[in-house]
Amino acid sequence: MSPSPASAVLHSFAPIESPQARVLILGSMPGAASLAAARYYAHPQNRFWPIMGELIGAGPELDYEQRLQALRAAGIALWDVLAQCEREGSLDAAIRDDTAVANDFAGFLARHPRVRTLLFNGAKAEQSFRRFVLKPLARPDLRLLRLPSTSPANASQRPQMKVAAWREALSEAGVAVRGA
C-alpha cells in the first residue's frame, strides 16, 4: 500500500550559498508552492522577496537567479532547517516532528566558516533548529535570532514592522542594507 499524498515525505532544497556568506537565513521546510516551483519562497503572498528587495535589492521584479545572486553578493546564504519531513498542506504547524530530519549544519558551517549569524524565518524554523540541531552542533559562537515569519499565514504583524525587524537583524550581522 503506497502512502497518500498527504503523508508523502517532503524534501527541502540545496542551500543557496557562497564563500562570502556571513549570515544564514533559515526557513523550516518549503511550502507547497515553493516545492512545486522548486524555488525558495515561491508563494506570491510570501513577503520574503519583497523584504529582500527593499533591503538588499533582491526583489520579486528580478528573475529568480538574479535574486539569488543578490543574496550571495550581500553575504547571505539561504536554507531550511529540515532536510525532510511529512506535512499535510503548507503550514509549519502541520509538520510532523516525528518524521523530521535536519539538514547537515555541521558540514555547512565547516564549509562556511564566516557564517556567525543564523536568522530564523519564523518560530517553527527556530524551534526545529533548537530541537534537532543545536545541542549536537555545539557551536556557542553562533548568534541565533528569530525574525517575524514572511509567510502569508503570519498576517498579524504589519509589513513595515517585519521589514524593520529584518533590516535591524541583517544590519547587526554586517550586511549592507538600504535605509540602515
User: What residues are labeled active site?
Assistant: 46
Query: Which of 20, 39, 36 lies closest to 112, judged by CA?
Result: 20
DSSP conformation letters of the chain: -PPPGGGPEEE-PPPB--TT--EEEEESS--HHHHHHTSTT-STT-SHHHHHHHHHS--TTS-HHHHHHHHHHTTEEEEESEEEEEESSS-GGGEEEEEEEE--HHHHHHH-TT--EEEEESHHHHHHHIIIIIHHH--TT-EEEEE---STT--SS-HHHHHHHHHHHHHHTT---TT-
Distance CA 31, CA 4 (A): 18
Cβ atoms within 10 Å, residue 123: 16
